[in-house]
């Protein structure tokens, strides 16, 4: 199984309150808390992640 390669957003500040996203595994997006890299992660299939991102863009809160 391929390991997730997590990345923090360039918009993240130094407060440490952000999530990291991994999109290197085909058809899967994983999200974790940047303060707990060894902690739990949530995974989404491609369709669910796309729907989530579109809902943010429709709301005007993400680009």
Place of tokens 């923090």: 8
**Residue 56: its H or E element:** helix 46-59
State the DSSP code for 36. Answer: -
Give the pLDDT band of residue 43 (cuts 50, 70, 90). very high
Query: Residue 26 above 90 pLDDT?
Result: yes
Residues in the chain: 63
Distance CA 9, CA 47 (A): 21
- Give the Å distances, CA to CA, from 13 to 2, 30, 32, 33: 29, 21, 16, 14
Query: Residue 56 above 80 pLDDT?
Result: yes
* pLDDT score of 61: 60
Tokens read off for 57: 């863009």
């Amino acid at each position: 199984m391929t390991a997730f390669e997590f990345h923090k957003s360039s918009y993240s500040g130094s407060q440490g309150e952000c999530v990291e996203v991994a999109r290197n595994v085909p058809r899967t997006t994983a999200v974790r808390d940047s303060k707990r890299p060894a902690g739990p992660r949530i995974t989404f299939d491609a369709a669910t992640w796309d729907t989530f991102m579109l809902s943010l863009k429709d709301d005007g809160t993400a680009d």
